[in-house]
Amino acid sequence: MASIFGIGTSGLLAAQRQLATASHNISNVNTEGYTRQRAEQEARRPQFSGSGYIGSGVSVQTTVRLANDFLEEQIRNANSQFGKFDAFHALSTQIDNILANPDSGLTPTLESFFSALQEANDNPSSTPARQVLITEANTLTSRFELLDDRFIDLNNQVNQQLSDLSQDITDAARSIARLNVDIIQKIGAGQGNMPNDLIDQREVLIKKIADNIDVSVVMQDDGAANIFIGSGQSLVVGGTSAILSTQANRFNTEDLDVMLTQGAGSVNITSSVSGGELQGVLDFKKDVLEPGRRSLGRIAVALTEEMNHQHHLGMTLQDSGSGFNLGGNFFTSLTSSPQVLPGQATSTGTYTSTITDSKLLTTSDYRLEVTAGAPNTYTLIQLNNPTPPMVTGGTLAAVQAAAQAEGFDIGESVAATANETFLIRPTYAASAGIGVEVNNVLDIALAGPVISGAVTNADGSARNSGTGSISLPVVATSVSTGTLTDLPMAAPITLDFEASTPNEFDINLPATATVSYIDAAGNPQSIAAPVTALPYDPATDSGGITYTVNYASGDTVTFTVQGVPNANDQFELKENTAPFNDNRNGLIMAALQTKKTLENSSTDFQAGYSIIVSDVGTKTHSAEIDLRAQQTLSEQAKAERASYSGVNLDEEAADLLKFQQSYQASARVISIADQMFQTLISAVG
């Protein structure tokens, strides 16, 4: 009889445990990360009787989590990839919206500026047209500054996200370490039985870390979970957790690096971060934010330098008393805009950089490595294409030559006395320094400073009898000073044709001037100083010979003679004394809108900007596609996990009925056993 009581009692207790487990499942149906549990039961050891073994009931061995490690890892990986694409897409969309926006982008303001320049050319003496040009120039520079400010704001946002994500990972890692300690203790106290709810809490935290960075989980025999990130750096080992933080980049305090601190040691893991929002933010900075700002800076440099160069060649309406001034800088010069940032807290060497040719500029940063020695050696690396280095262990002159081939120069003010590294950014911050130098309508140099023509008689009648003519090319002069007196042009340059052997033009030039030209056969020629005659044979040169007068100052005047002049025909070049209705230089400046001044003279300003917009748009769209695909994979992984480990209320309700019936049946067994015992007592009594 005792065996019947025992069997009934064991069934009652087993049904009670199953009812409790099902109730626990139902209660946690909405608990994040909860894993369905099941009470595992097995038959007790049978007892031997003379007629064989008789069963002795049931026992509950343990309560297990219905978890699948493969599915859990799938979710962690899917969450990590989703977090990466989501962060990248969210940030790149912000840049894409402002760059491609017709109201906030650069293209409309570029078009408005060049339209205003063309209108000024249509009426070069018009003060309102010139004022509109200055206004549009200021609008253009303001747009450059606005876009650059937006890049700076996004960089600050990136830094804030890096700090926040690092803190979130650190907090979660600390909680996992504490849970590891609790789980180890509970497993020991429970003689190997698992604290399922604590394990669920730990898995939730692991998934939260996976949202932010890719993780690898290694389980220990004692029940602890070790977490590794990056290229194998340990984040959690047993009850100890590392600290993820940010610190200023060694080159630039405006940038942050991700640091992993374990005990007293810290290591920079920025380059080895993979997966999660952390990689998405870092990828955005590396692939979109910084290249976009450098590209914008390159356009600013090219625009300012090309406009300034041509503006210097023109003549203004500003009369200095000794003639009309030549043009100065139209925009703020950005030749000194490159940043040279030392990689050491204290640098013994001082290095500078300047723009030498905006057409050759790339959108890359560069690293200069100085190895101290006798003499020092230098290595220059283009960071967009680091292998192989541009110069390895070479001289300063070799490094300077390599840099000049990319449109900038490197200067050494103080040589390094220790091994030091410098980051050179030719265009990164250029947009921040752009401005308009011309603030007076009279200072706009639309006119050409030199005019040419045939010498006439005193009464204005034609003197020349031949068919020869003289003309100025598109760019007639290159003058380093603010007036033409340095050429000198105080008196006209005259050419008097001598029909003799050889035929030639007598010319009045300073004793130090030289002349270069290409003869009719296509061969370059040069006449050394002093120049008093220019060879010109109407029989072979009537198609035109272009001469360039080179002054000792470095200034030049270029002109073309063609046709068949007669003996004593005279031509002259002289200073423009009436530039009011002259737009020759303005037309050349307007042509810069479509002139190919970027990418080794293969791209114009607007096309260069379109490349930025296209590149950002392509990467944003690609991230959007990846995000949608990864969202589908993530949802599928969660659905698979839910089907295996999630709580199904219908199933749990059916189990409740089953376990309730089992409980009632076991209670009935006990009741029958009691009746049998009472009957036996009554019979004996």
Give alpha helix (H) positions in 419-545.
538-541
Average pLDDT over the chain, rounded to an integer: 91
| 480, two tokens | 């380093």
Q: Which residue has the higher pLDDT, 103 or 456?
A: 456
H/E element holding 13? helix 2-27
Q: Alpha carbon 133 to chain centroid distance?
A: 33
Query: Closest by alpha carbon to 65, among 645, 656, 637?
Result: 645
Residue 364 has pLDDT above 70, yes or no: yes
pLDDT at 486 over 60: no
| Distance in angstroms (rounded) separating the CA atoms of residues 589 and 583 | 10
* The predicted structure's pLDDT at residue 48: 78
Report pLDDT digits (tens) over 612-660: 999 999 999 999 999 999 999 998 988 888 888 888 888 888 988 988 8
Give the DSSP letter string of 515-579.
Answer: EEEE-TTS-EEEEPSSP-EEE--HHHHTT-EEEEEE-TTS-EEEEEEES-PPTT-EEEEEE-S-G
Strand extents, DSSP E, 23-73 = 37-43, 47-49, 52-54, 58-65
CA–CA dist 640, 618 (Å, integer)? 33
Residue 685 has pLDDT above 80, yes or no: no
The DSSP string of 349-409 is -EEEEEES-GGG--S--EEEEEE-SSS-EEEEEETTS-SS-SEEEE-HHHHHHHHHTTTEE
Query: Which three-class secondary structure string do you get for 597-611?
Result: CECCCCECHHHHHHH
3-state helix, strand, coil in the chain (%, to 5): 45, 25, 30
Is pLDDT above 90 for 320?
no
Rounded to 10°, the helix 69-100/276-284 angle is: 30
> Would you call 645 helix, strand, or coil by DSSP?
helix
**Of 225 and 555, which is predicted with more confidence?**
225
Non-local (6+) Cβ contacts of 77 within 8 A are: 210, 214, 275
Residue 1's pLDDT is 43
Average pLDDT (70-80) is: 91
Which among 572, 582, 565 is positioned nearest to 452, based on CA atoms?
572
Query: Residue 287: pLDDT above 50?
Result: yes
- Going by DSSP bridges, is the β-strand pair 545-550/469-471 parallel, antiparallel, or unpaired? unpaired
pLDDT at 531: 93
Give the tens place of pLDDT for each residue, 494-529.
999 998 878 999 999 988 899 999 998 899 999 999
Distance from the first to the final alpha carbon of the chain: 17
Residue 432 per-residue DSSP state: G
Q: What is the DSSP letter of 339?
A: E
Residue 378's DSSP bridge partners are: 370, 394
Q: Does 209 score more than 90 pLDDT?
A: yes
Listed residue (467, 456, 449, 457) closest to 571, CA to CA: 456
Rg (CA), the chain: 42
Give the side-chain half-sphere CA count within 13 A for 428.
19
Structure tokens at 100: 């491609």
Q: Give residue 626's pLDDT.
A: 92
DSSP class of residue 628 equals H
Mean local confidence (pLDDT), 133-162: 96
Q: Please compute the mean of the pLDDT values over residues 16-36 and round it to a whole number.
A: 89
CB 295 within 8 A of CB 431: no
**Do the Cβ atoms of 145 and 153 come closer than 8 Å?**
no
Q: What is the identity of the amino acid at 361?
A: L
pLDDT of residue 130: 97
Beta strands in 444-488 (DSSP E): 450-454, 469-471, 477-478
pLDDT tens readout for residues 370-410: 999 989 999 999 999 999 999 999 999 999 999 999 999 99
Give SS3 for 223.
coil
Phi/psi class of residue 655: alpha, beta or left (left: φ > 0; alpha: ψ in -120 to 50)?
A: alpha
What's the confidence (pLDDT) of residue 475? 55
Angle, vertex CA 359, rays to CA 301 and CA 387, nearest 5: 100
For residue range 646-658, list pLDDT tens digits in order: 888 888 889 889 8
Confidence band for 553, pLDDT divided at 50, 70 and 90: confident
pLDDT at 464: 94
Query: What is the distance, to the nearest Å, from the Cα of residue 222 to the centroid of all Cα atoms in its chain?
Result: 46
For residue 454, count CB atoms less than 10 angstroms from its CB and return exposed for 0-12, middle for 13-18, buried for 19 or more: middle
Task: Determine contact, residues 8/669, Cβ cutoff 8 Å.
Answer: yes
Q: Are 446 and 585 in contact (CB under 8 A)?
A: yes
Q: What is the 8-class DSSP label of residue 45?
A: P
How confident is the model over 97-126, as a mean pLDDT? 93
For residues 194 and 223, the answer to whether their CB atoms sit within 8 Å is yes
Nearest CA-CA partner of 240 in 263, 220, 207, 217:
263
Asked whether the predicted pLDDT for residue 246 surpasses 70, the reply is yes
Domains of the chain: 2-66+646-684 (no CATH), 72-283+603-637 (no CATH), 339-426 (no CATH), 449-575 (2.60.40)
